[in-house]
A and B are shown apart, each in its own frame.
Chain A
Amino acid sequence: MSDLVADKVNMVFNTKGGGTVHALKDISFTLKQGELLSVLGPSGCGKTTLLNIIAGFNRPTGGAFYLGGEEISGPGLNRGMVFQQGALFEWLTVAENVNFGLRMKGSDKKETAQKVEEWLDIVGLQGFGNTPTYQLSGGMQQRVALARCLINDPDLILMDEPLGALDALTREKMQTLVLKIWKETGKTIMIITHSVEEALLLGERLFVMAPRPGRLHKEYQLPFAEQGLTTDPREIKNSAQFSETREEILTMIWNMEEEIMGKTNAA
């Protein structure tokens, strides 16, 4: 099966001043197929670096990621990525954005059109196929980005703060959509987020990362994602277990930030 395995991944950047920054240190974990993972951490802890390495945009300086037993050495169609601002091609229409990957492969046109219809339906954009992308709202753009990524049928979906730029209401709707897609497609999904609530809601598993050097600090197994499939997310958020975990993690991150500030001040 195509599990994601991290084997002692290290990432060291050389700075211009001649020093080094240890962005990731000895990251090891296994993400089973169909799991939903959210990654949380203070800014500068290497979340995005981690994601870029898994996507294949950067190469680690030590260790390796394996997807389905194969080492990751570059971007590939078995991993799809959703970016913070959507990163849509604004010169194309919604449908052209969604079928971009298939067109690059040179797939059959009829089949492609059919697939695009299906996916626009799933993400709730029926009838928007010919709309120019630049006319869409932020939430709709993210829906297009999701469809564009999913249409290629990747094994692993990487999301880099996908809902960060959305307003609260749209955000809740999108969270439900992500859960729905996770359930219906059974894909492995890895989400990076700044929001603790979102991480709790959208994480079957949750990694809290610590900075300097970037490392896995603590791992949680959470029931909320499973609950979210059937229950109203607002109800979950009001449960005692949810608030407790949230407070615990917030305190943890708060302490890390304090520590960084202290370090910076001492230096």
Chain B
Amino acid sequence: MIVGTLFIILICLLIGSIIYGRRLVRTEVTDAVFGNPTRALGGWHWIVAGVSSILIIWLYFSWDAGRAFFPKSANELCQVAKLNRTANPIRSAFPLEDRLLRSTLLLERDYGQMDALESKLANTNFNETDRAELQSVISEMRATLAAQADPKLMDPGTAGRLDEIATRINDLAKNIADDNYPSTPDPDREKALAQPAWGETSTEIPPMPMTDLGYKFSKAAEVMDGISKDFSKIRNNGENITAKLEALQARYKGFKIDESDGEEITAQRKELLKQVEKIYRRIDDGKIFPSAMTQKVEDALINLDDVKKSEQGMLRYIDIFALPGGDILAGNRACSEQGSGRWLPKPSDTLQTFVKMAHPDEGYKGIPLLWYKMKPVGEVFEILIPDWIANLVPGEYPRHDDAGNVLTNFKNKVYNFATGNYESMMIPVPIGHIWDSMMRVLAGLFFGIILGVPLGLYMGLSRFAKGFFDPLIELYRPIPPLAWAPLILTIFGIQDDGKIFLLFMVAFAIMVISARTGATGTQLSKIHAAHSLGASKFQIIRKVILPNSLPEILTGIRIAIGVCWGTLVAAEMLAGTTGIGFVENVARKQSDYEIIWMTILLLGLLGLLFDLIMRFIIHRTIPWRGKG
């Protein structure tokens, strides 16, 4: 209901913004010259058009829109799929989906194998009489195969059974075309209606028929199953052929292998005889029929296909247009979506999964995506105060006295304060996979900035610093961060430390280079001006060179965030127990498309969020960029 409404609104938005955009262009026509960059300004309606296109495509190809508008059709298509599945053993014997008749294919293969066997026989060590005998057996096999393809030699009983199959299929087709079939109402309808709806249990489609149309196809599928089983029992080995086969069997069984020429040659001879037996068994299967004798069955199947199509009616068009890019297939127990409906999770399902995983009751591997937890203030800020500060306080940590009392002293109190071990107010603290990932990026970035920017500025101003640090940074910068990951994670551990250090390395190099570029680009006259206004060295760095480098530094931060984000997810995939990358890695192992898709979207949205924040900061802090 919501999805359907949303889908229609999105289509209206798309069409509306296109019309609005066209109209706007018409009013501009007088000064619209190609190549005028101001024509790229504005245009929020194209943003609306772009976003709604993406959402429409997503809703459409994930079958979410189809499910919203035709909630029962998947169940009906599932019943049709059952009929297809049960008809498949017969259909595959005829050139309905394949190019060749099954019998033709088998003949071609068997002849080919006998050709290979003959040439092998010529190259294997046999005495003349043995060779002649085996050659004769192979020739006889060819004759038997040819006999199976001959309609005149076919057993009348077998022909009768084939005709009976054709009649049964035709009867079934007639039944399907009949509006009153099946004559009795569905006894399991109530149970079927109580099934979980489409999409309620991951991607599964309710298998029991919920409509009359579905029941018809499901019933037909049962009948078809019987026909298929009977068809597969038919073998083309009537009297004429059985005699030939028995004679053949006697001949190759009676063949004695000459074992006097050593083990190796004997093994070769045995191998060849084994292959003769293999081909014999194939022929004995009797799956080759004269093509004229199976024509009736083929015609009946084509008839059944036509009836099936016309009886589906609208359902076929729903399948083609509302559920694009794949079919619904019936397995032994359940029906499943295939194609884009399978690997492109539906927006509504993805949102539901997100909400479920965000909440701590569900979460993912025990941790929610993003939630909060009440924690005492002391515990939160404990990380800011180093524990060793207590060691600096004069005196000793308290010892217990003779009565066994443990008394506290000032030094101990300081220690308790530094470790957050005191009563304090509870405040909400964000937790979860998303939060962990974001904190890692921000921590890496923070250290990268506070260490990278000063070094970069120094390198921009000092020949020594430039020459001394340049090789170091230029050497490690081009190395893909992930190449470092195994080493760093081994040294610093797979928890936050290693990842933050890895991200620090990434951010550091970028920040050094951008700060250096900024410092190098300072106009000499500005520095002269600052000098003549009485600024000290430190003041010049702080008040002139740093602000002058801000555009480059902020651009550097923007780039660094992007690179860190990418590196972090990859690092989390390598190792760790929390983070978005971890979630995706686990989902990958379980082929859970919905969670994979959700993490991809989350990463995209968070990256976008970071970039928008940076753009906002850049806009607010350096409006003078390029105008100096």
B531, B534, B628: the one contacting A105 at CB < 8 Å is B534
Cα separation A178 to B533 with both chains bound (whole Å): 19
Q: Which residue of A lies closest to B532 (CB)?
A: A81
Those of B544-578 within 8 Å (CB) of chain A: 544, 547-548, 550
| Cβ contact within 8 Å between A83 and B525 | yes
| Cβ contact within 8 Å between A133 and B624 | yes
| Cβ contact within 8 Å between A77 and B529 | no
| Cβ contact within 8 Å between A132 and B534 | no
| Cβ contact within 8 Å between B534 and A77 | yes
Report the contact-size class of chain A (Cβ under 8 Å from the partner).
20 to 34
Q: Is A266 an interface residue (CB 8 A)?
A: no
| Cβ contact within 8 Å between A104 and B533 | yes
Cα separation A133 to B156 with both chains bound (whole Å): 105
Given known pairs A91-B550, A105-B534, A152-B534, the reply for A83 and B529 (CB within 8 Å) is: yes
Cα separation A76 to B536 with both chains bound (whole Å): 11
Q: Is B535 an interface residue (CB 8 A)?
A: yes
Q: Which of B526, B532, B535, B624: most chain A Cβ within 10 A?
A: B532
* Nearest Cβ on chain A to B290's Cβ, whole angstroms: 93
Report the contact-size class of chain B (Cβ under 8 Å from the partner).
20 to 34
Q: Is A267 an interface residue (CB 8 A)?
A: no
A81, A91, A133: the one contacting B528 at CB < 8 Å is A81
B528, B534, B535, B543: the one contacting A83 at CB < 8 Å is B528
Q: Is A254 an interface residue (CB 8 A)?
A: no
| Cβ contact within 8 Å between B532 and A75 | yes
Cα separation A196 to B273 with both chains bound (whole Å): 115
Q: Is A57 an interface residue (CB 8 A)?
A: yes
Q: Is B627 an interface residue (CB 8 A)?
A: yes
| Cβ contact within 8 Å between A87 and B622 | no
| Cβ contact within 8 Å between B536 and A91 | no
B-side contacts of A149, CB under 8 Å? 532-533
| Cβ contact within 8 Å between B525 and A75 | no
Main secondary structure of the interface of B (DSSP, over half): helix
B-side contacts of A84, CB under 8 Å? 525
| Cβ contact within 8 Å between B533 and A101 | yes
| Cβ contact within 8 Å between A87 and B544 | no
Q: Is A242 an interface residue (CB 8 A)?
A: no
Per-residue 0/1 for B175-218: is the Cβ within 8 Å of any A Cβ (1 yes, 0 no)? Answer: 00000000000000000000000000000000000000000000
Cα separation A152 to B623 with both chains bound (whole Å): 29
| Cβ contact within 8 Å between A134 and B624 | yes
Given known pairs A104-B536, A104-B539, A105-B534, the reply for A87 and B529 (CB within 8 Å) is: yes
* Nearest Cβ on chain B to A108's Cβ, whole angstroms: 16
| Cβ contact within 8 Å between A75 and B624 | no
Q: Which residue of B lies closest to A105 (CB)?
A: B534
Q: Which residue of A lies closest to B528 (CB)?
A: A57
Those of A147-170 within 8 Å (CB) of chain B: 148-149, 152
Given known pairs A91-B624, A134-B628, the reply for A79 and B532 (CB within 8 Å) is: yes
Q: Is B523 an interface residue (CB 8 A)?
A: yes
Given known pairs A75-B532, A77-B534, the reply for A87 and B624 (CB within 8 Å) is: no
Q: Is B377 an interface residue (CB 8 A)?
A: no
Q: Is B482 an interface residue (CB 8 A)?
A: no
Q: Is A189 an interface residue (CB 8 A)?
A: no
Given known pairs A80-B532, A81-B529, A100-B533, the reply for A132 and B623 (CB within 8 Å) is: yes
Q: Is A55 an interface residue (CB 8 A)?
A: yes
Q: Is B530 an interface residue (CB 8 A)?
A: yes
| Cβ contact within 8 Å between A134 and B627 | yes
B528, B534, B536, B550: the one contacting A87 at CB < 8 Å is B528
Those of A75-99 within 8 Å (CB) of chain B: 75-77, 79-81, 83-85, 87-91
Cα separation A83 to B539 with both chains bound (whole Å): 20
* Nearest Cβ on chain A to B522's Cβ, whole angstroms: 11
Those of A229-261 within 8 Å (CB) of chain B: none
* Nearest Cβ on chain A to B608's Cβ, whole angstroms: 28
A-side contacts of B528, CB under 8 Å? 52, 55, 57, 75, 81, 83, 87
A-side contacts of B534, CB under 8 Å? 75-77, 101, 104-105, 152
Cα separation A133 to B548 with both chains bound (whole Å): 14
A-side contacts of B623, CB under 8 Å? 132, 134
| Cβ contact within 8 Å between B525 and A148 | no
Cα separation A138 to B96 with both chains bound (whole Å): 83
| Cβ contact within 8 Å between A148 and B624 | no
* Nearest Cβ on chain A to B624's Cβ, whole angstroms: 4
Given known pairs A87-B526, A91-B624, A134-B628, the reply for A104 and B535 (CB within 8 Å) is: yes
| Cβ contact within 8 Å between B550 and A75 | no
Given known pairs A83-B525, A134-B623, A134-B627, the reply for A89 and B547 (CB within 8 Å) is: yes
Given known pairs A83-B525, A134-B628, the reply for A89 and B544 (CB within 8 Å) is: yes
| Cβ contact within 8 Å between A91 and B525 | no
| Cβ contact within 8 Å between A55 and B548 | no
Q: Which residue of B lies closest to A160 (CB)?
A: B525
| Cβ contact within 8 Å between A91 and B529 | no
Q: Which residue of A lies closest to B621 (CB)?
A: A91
A-side contacts of B525, CB under 8 Å? 83-85, 87
B-side contacts of A52, CB under 8 Å? 528
A-side contacts of B544, CB under 8 Å? 89
| Cβ contact within 8 Å between A57 and B628 | no
Given known pairs A104-B539, A134-B623, the reply for A57 and B531 (CB within 8 Å) is: yes
| Cβ contact within 8 Å between B533 and A152 | yes
Per-residue 0/1 for A103-117: is the Cβ within 8 Å of any B Cβ (1 yes, 0 no)? Answer: 011000000000000
A-side contacts of B529, CB under 8 Å? 81, 83, 87-89, 148
Cα separation A80 to B624 with both chains bound (whole Å): 26
Those of A35-80 within 8 Å (CB) of chain B: 52, 55-57, 75-77, 79-80
A-side contacts of B543, CB under 8 Å? 89, 100, 104
* Nearest Cβ on chain A to B544's Cβ, whole angstroms: 7
| Cβ contact within 8 Å between A90 and B532 | no
A-side contacts of B622, CB under 8 Å? 91
A-side contacts of B536, CB under 8 Å? 104
Cα separation A81 to B547 with both chains bound (whole Å): 21
Cα separation A152 to B543 with both chains bound (whole Å): 18
* Nearest Cβ on chain B to A63's Cβ, whole angstroms: 21
* Nearest Cβ on chain A to B397's Cβ, whole angstroms: 45
Q: Which residue of A lies closest to B622 (CB)?
A: A91
A-side contacts of B535, CB under 8 Å? 100-101, 104
Those of B68-109 within 8 Å (CB) of chain A: none
A-side contacts of B523, CB under 8 Å? 87
Cα separation A52 to B531 with both chains bound (whole Å): 12
Cα separation A75 to B627 with both chains bound (whole Å): 28
| Cβ contact within 8 Å between B628 and A90 | yes
B-side contacts of A101, CB under 8 Å? 533-535
B-side contacts of A152, CB under 8 Å? 533-534
Given known pairs A81-B528, A85-B525, the reply for A90 and B533 (CB within 8 Å) is: no
Q: Which residue of A lies closest to B536 (CB)?
A: A104
Given known pairs A85-B525, A91-B622, the reply for A148 and B550 (CB within 8 Å) is: no
Beyond the given A84-B525, A87-B528, A89-B529, could you list 5 further A-B residue pairs with CB under 8 A, ordered by the A residue number?
A81-B532, A87-B523, A91-B550, A100-B543, A101-B535
A–B pairs, 28, beta carbons within 8 Å: A56-B532, A75-B531, A75-B534, A76-B532, A77-B533, A77-B534, A87-B523, A87-B525, A87-B528, A89-B526, A89-B544, A90-B627, A91-B547, A91-B550, A100-B535, A101-B533, A104-B530, A104-B535, A104-B536, A105-B534, A132-B623, A133-B624, A134-B623, A134-B627, A148-B529, A148-B533, A149-B532, A152-B533
Q: Please provide the 8 A-B residue pairs with the shortest distance between their CB atoms, ordered closest to farther.
A: A101-B533, A87-B525, A75-B531, A134-B627, A90-B628, A134-B624, A90-B624, A87-B529
